[in-house]
């Protein structure tokens, strides 16, 4: 007998995911914020891997039923901890969040001081 292959639902597309910020906790030099992803579609989908520019736990395959929620932990560096001449801080109005394995971001309203360009400290 051939082994059975279990098919997983397709990856969750950005357009079918909602995102909202959850609990935040500050530490020296950064703030950790939970980002909740909600499946807005009428079918199950999967998230697998790491959302861009954040560290997610768990990294195993997560299946979201319609209306299901998964979360990621995002670390935000305090822009004010760096020299203004290198950082050029500005106020961010939103976060661009790239769900795992997606090229289209989700825009999440989030006002915070930020460095508009990448720089080396």
Per-residue confidence band for 84, with pLDDT thresholds at 50, 70 and 90: confident
The whole model's pTM is what? 0.76
**Residue 100: pLDDT above 60?**
yes
What pLDDT, on a 0 to 100 scale, did the predictor assign at position 41?
97
- Upstream peptide bond of 94 is cis (omega within 30 degrees of 0): no
Cα gap 82→77, rounded to integer Å: 10
Q: Other CB atoms closer than 10 Å to residue 104's CB: what's the count? A: 11
Domain chopping of the chain, boundaries = 14-78+85-114
Class for the domain spanning 14-78+85-114: mainly beta
Which is nearest to 17 in space by CA: 71, 53, 61, 86? 71
Query: CB of 46 within 8 A of CB of 11?
Result: yes
**Residue 93: pLDDT above 90?**
no
Of residues 18 and 54, the one with the higher pLDDT is 18
């Amino acid at each position: 007998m051939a082994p059975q292959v279990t098919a997983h639902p397709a990856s969750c597309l950005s357009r079918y995911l909602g995102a909202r910020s959850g609990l935040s906790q500050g530490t020296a030099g950064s703030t950790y914020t939970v980002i909740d992803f909600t499946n807005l579609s009428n079918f199950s989908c999967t998230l697998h891997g790491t959302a861009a520019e954040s560290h997610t736990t768990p990294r195993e395959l997560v299946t979201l039923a319609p209306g299901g929620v998964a979360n990621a932990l995002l670390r935000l560096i305090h822009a004010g901890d760096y020299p203004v001449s290198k950082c050029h801080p500005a106020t961010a109005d939103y976060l661009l969040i790239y769900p795992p394995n997606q090229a289209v971001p989700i825009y999440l309203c989030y006002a915070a001081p930020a460095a508009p360009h990448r720089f080396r400290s």
